Copies of this chain bind each other. A is one copy, B any other.
Amino acid sequence: MSYCVALRLDSGLVFMADTLTNAGVDNISHYSKIHHWSRPGELQLFLLTAGNLATSQAVVSHLNEASKLSGKNESILGVTSMFQAAKLVGQQLREVIVDMSKGGQEASNKFDATLILGGQIKGENMSLYLIYPEGNFIEVSEYEPFLQIGETKYGKPIIVRAFDPVMTFEEAVKLLIVSFDSTIKANLSVAMPLHLRIYEKDSLESGRDLTLEENNAYFQTVSETWGSKLKEVFGQLPDFSFSNEVK
């Protein structure tokens, strides 16, 4: 599994993904799960992947090859709306999965991948899409403008409680670190280093690209402080009292 999150802030987009991939516990490696297409001043697209690595890589490679062969106009670099981009990626994903499933393996879900596509195209607002293995997709909710894929459950409660689109990038990174820390502590299939991309609204530039390594001092501080503060707050909550409860 993987864990990837995309936040749509008022001031831009923040993407975070872990880097661990595994085909069984005895076959692990690290890959970037954030892919990027850029035409400065025109288009910035970020793609996050969770699921079958061969599928994710095939989707990205096909999209890249198509943009080389047919030129930018008919490719991912040439789309003129985020909806078109999501449609193109969704079609490519479906094609790859259908193609792989032809090889005799019946269980097509083994080839499944789920994607988050986010970014901005000149003249449009920023947006985020969740793309399903079937190739269809949904846009992010206006009410809770974040998307998660992969091992989403452990790290969801803190996002639900603390996420606010008016956050700064710095606060958003902090939130994501808390969410990833909870996930990493509870699930072996998600692991450091973490990959972070930040896109500033209307900049149409690539933005920041950071990697947080295992020994990252800030990550460790947040993890430890959060853990001890959580215990402290837990201790401060009023204790349950049996005398107040009636069966």
A residues neighboring B (CB under 8 Å): 151, 153-158, 160-162, 168-171, 173-175, 177-178, 182-183, 185-187, 208-212, 217-218, 221-222, 225-227, 229-234, 236-242, 244-245, 247
Among B156, B178, B221, B241, the residue within 8 A (CB) of A234 is B178
Task: Report A170 CB to chain B, min CB distance, Å.
Answer: 4
Knowing A154-B153, A156-B154, say if A225 contacts B210 (CB, 8 Å).
no
Contacting pair B218 A245 (CB below 8 A) = yes
Task: Report A200 CB to chain B, min CB distance, Å.
Answer: 12
Knowing A157-B182, A247-B211, say if A174 contacts B218 (CB, 8 Å).
no
Q: Which residues of B contact A225 (CB under 8 A)?
A: 237-238
How many angstroms from the CA of A178 to the CA of B156 in the assembled complex?
14
Task: Please provide the 5 A-B residue pairs with the shortest distance between their CB atoms, ordered closest to farther.
Answer: A153-B153, A173-B240, A157-B182, A229-B233, A170-B239
Contacting pair A177 B240 (CB below 8 A) = yes
| Chain B residue, CB-CB nearest to A156 | B186
Q: Could you show 20 A-B contacts with beta carbons less than 8 Å apart?
A: A153-B153, A154-B157, A158-B234, A170-B239, A171-B240, A174-B237, A174-B238, A174-B240, A178-B237, A210-B245, A212-B245, A218-B244, A221-B238, A222-B238, A226-B237, A229-B233, A229-B236, A230-B233, A232-B233, A233-B233
Contacting pair A233 B239 (CB below 8 A) = no
Q: Which residues of B contact A170 (CB under 8 A)?
A: 239-242
Contacts beyond the supplied A158-B230, A168-B239, A174-B238: 18 A-B pairs with Cβ under 8 Å: A151-B153, A153-B154, A153-B186, A157-B185, A157-B186, A160-B185, A160-B186, A170-B239, A170-B241, A170-B242, A173-B240, A178-B234, A208-B247, A210-B247, A217-B244, A218-B238, A222-B237, A222-B238
Among B187, B230, B245, the residue within 8 A (CB) of A162 is B230
